[in-house]
Amino acid sequence: MPHLDMIRGVAALAVAVGHVRALFFVSFGQIQGATGLHKVLYGATSLGHQAVIVFFVLSGFLITRSVLRGWNAGQWSWPLYLINRGARLYVALIPALLLTAACDWAGRHTAQGAWLYQIADPLFGPQPFLADFTWRAFAGSAAFLQTIATPCFGSDQPLWSLANEFWYYLFFPALLYAATPRVAIGKRIAYAGLLAIGLWFVRQSIAVYFLVWLMGSSIAWVTLARMPSSRKAAIVLAGLAAACIAGPWIAGRGALADFGLGAIMSLVVWAAWSREGFPVGGAYRRLAALLAGFSYTLYVSHFPLLVLARAIILPGARWQPTAAALAAGAAILSGALLCAFALSRVTEAKTGAARAFLVSLIRPGIRKKPAEPAAGSELAASRSATPE
């Protein structure tokens, strides 16, 4: 799925680019002699949050397609599903947490940049990175309780969205059980109750964005449904409109832009999926596969690397966006990309092997590839599903 791979890869790159700009360069209001070109540059490098919304939509689409295919064939099960999702998440998360521990330990012992870990930067959270450098935060992030019961571990602030993804992975099958007429009424009530408890437990900030995830889910459903295209379009548009009304009504008008973007991206994903058979060049396919192939590792590992680089390279004030500084920023970004790619070869690239091993533990002798896709925060029902 080259088009969806490309969307995922570009979204992960947008997050990393935004963090390079925020860490190393002054804010737009502090630019000396700002021009229209600066405005365009800063606008293009301020899309990290929007990229996470894209991940949620992609995740909903890819996971739902996978679940529904198994469900409709009578082959879906909680054990295999949890193995597939757990392997996908943990194969890169645990190395990223260890990398964060190493980077933060080294960074706070630098002669010039130790202060960076000891001050609260409003761009990256209410507390200093050092305040979150605890075993409790490590365990919380490993258990996907960050932003619910613990902060994100150390400087790895992008981990916040993994809590969303993990709980959405649990919520969707529960919703499916609760909403499927052929399921026994007692089981439906039980799953509806569990879903309600789960939504309460994760709090409003995570629960409400499940609606964005379900936008992508609705697209997956119509791609599998057998009905006239006009009816599919009517159902999708009605569902997206309902989510765009309900989400901001619950979360506040500030969330309207996120839900609007979610609706637009859902339609983009539908269009991209519909054109997956359209011939594209080999170079495009290779680039899309390359970016998507390490996008999850890039997402969970790039920030502690960048903070360490900031502590070493730029212990003082942020740069003005001069040509020389922009070139230096591009070099730093390239370094982070190379590190993430190298790490992905021993983490993300081994997702299939990790799944097969875990499946063999519960089903000895079975070696067939699991039915789950390999998103985000998730994109790889072509190869996985996270910011995934």
Please report whether residue 130 resides in a domain.
yes
Please report whether residue 224 resides in a domain.
yes
**What pLDDT is attached to residue 363?**
72
- Which tokens belong to 23? 């860490």
Please report whether residue 381 resides in a domain.
no
Phi, psi of 121 (to 5 degrees): -100, 115
**What pLDDT is attached to residue 279?**
65
Instruction: Say whether 372 sits in a helix, a strand or coil.
Output: coil
**What pLDDT is attached to residue 91?**
96
Are residues 205 and 146 in contact, defined by beta-carbon separation less than 8 angstroms? no
Are residues 110 and 120 in contact, defined by beta-carbon separation less than 8 angstroms? no
**What pLDDT is attached to residue 387?**
41
Please report whether residue 380 resides in a domain.
no
Please report whether residue 301 resides in a domain.
yes
> Is the pTM here over 0.85, yes or no?
yes
Mean pLDDT by 10 residues, the chain (388 residues): 90 97 95 94 95 97 95 92 95 97 95 90 88 96 97 96 97 96 95 97 96 96 88 92 96 95 96 74 89 96 96 90 96 97 95 90 58 40 40
Structural domain tally of the chain?
1
List alpha helices for the chain, DSSP H: 2-24, 36-44, 48-72, 78-107, 135-142, 160-179, 185-207, 210-224, 229-251, 256-274, 282-293, 295-313, 323-344, 351-362
**What pLDDT is attached to residue 225?**
87
Are residues 314 and 352 in contact, defined by beta-carbon separation less than 8 angstroms? no
**What pLDDT is attached to residue 380?**
39
Phi, psi of 25 (to 5 degrees): -120, 150
User: For residue 339, what are the domain limits?
Assistant: 2-362
Please report whether residue 367 resides in a domain.
no
**What pLDDT is attached to residue 211?**
97
Please report whether residue 383 resides in a domain.
no
R_g of the chain computed on alpha carbons? 21
Please report whether residue 241 resides in a domain.
yes
**What pLDDT is attached to residue 365?**
53
